Amino acid sequence: MPLFSGLAAFPITPADAVGRVDVAALRRLVRRLADAKVDSIGLLGSTGTYAYLPRVERRRAIEAAVDEAGGAVPVMAGVGALRTDDAVALAQDAKAAGAGAGLLAPVSYTPLLDEEVFAHFETVTGESGLPICIYNNPGVTHFTFSAALTQRLSVLPGVVAVKNPAPPADQVATHLSDLRARVPAGFSLGYSADANCAEAMIAGGDAWHSVLGGIFPEAALAICRAAQSGDATEARRLNALLEPLWQLFRDLTGLRLAYAAANLLGLTEAQPPRPILPLSQAAQARVASVVGGLRLS
């Protein structure tokens, strides 16, 4: 599926102070990604602040993105929620709005057990009919999908992919090989954590789920295409050019950096949802300096 191969670009979701999505700004972001010819768009991911938006606004965002993409680029939408019934409703909304798949994280306040997460996914896929990508983001959810749980989930009807944080370069090939042996043929093994994703794609990962791609799609595509074509040297060269940006990701977090960069580039005038604060003036100046000095080719 195009949704689960190549570059999935994850934009922010511009919204006002009360969580109403700025549809015009979102359309501009989506149009930019579609024009760059990314392989898919990951809407309402963590950088898309899905957890901060009410159901009605999440549906408005999906409808606008799908309409703007116009069928040229498939859209996957975040459908995570604290309650299983809410996640089912969000997945049903996403399907009705034209999303090609849902990205499901085990959102929780009380720490979840493996059996609870399995039942959550089984219910959401079974009741929504929407293809689902497992969203393994332990830095946010505080739940880690083991290889064994991923294997169990991968045979559920409708669970078709996983988005894992990419491990360090010296571990990614082993990680990928182990998972590949556990899941059915055609099950997509995708990676996030942008700074490590060049190596994940070189090792044979199916998809790069990218915050970078939501801001600088051409740069991410160039790395992705080099890796997909087997040109590891070129993929690594291009990735190394982005080291100043990778350092900003490490220091400022991808979400905060994405908002600052989108505003700096004139794509939006959005601020992250409170209680997340915009970057300080000093940090924004640092972002402007790095972005202004980037060599992307």
End-to-end CA distance of the chain: 29
State the catalytic residue, choosing from 50, 135, 191, 259: 135
Rounded distance, CA 121 to CA 230, Å? 35
For residue 149, how many other CB atoms are within 10 A of its CB?
18
Rounded distance, CA 124 to CA 112, Å? 16
| Chain-centre distance for alpha carbon 147 | 20
For tokens 């040229």, the residue is 72
Nearest to 14 by CA among 258, 216, 250, 245: 258
For tokens 């202004």, the residue is 292
Q: What is the DSSP string of 254-266?
A: HHHHHHHHHHHTT
Angle between helix axes 217-228 and 232-241 (nearest 10 degrees) is: 160
Is 163 an annotated catalytic residue?
yes
Q: Long-range contacts: 146-155, Cβ < 8 Å, 24+?
A: 146/114, 147/178, 147/179, 147/182, 148/182, 149/114, 149/117, 149/118, 150/179, 150/182, 150/183, 151/182, 151/183, 152/118, 153/118, 153/121, 154/182, 154/183, 154/184, 154/187, 155/184
Bridge partners, residue 134, by sequence: 104, 162
State the catalytic residue, choosing from 50, 163, 191, 259: 163
Rounded distance, CA 245 to CA 264, Å? 14
- The catalytic residues are 135, 163
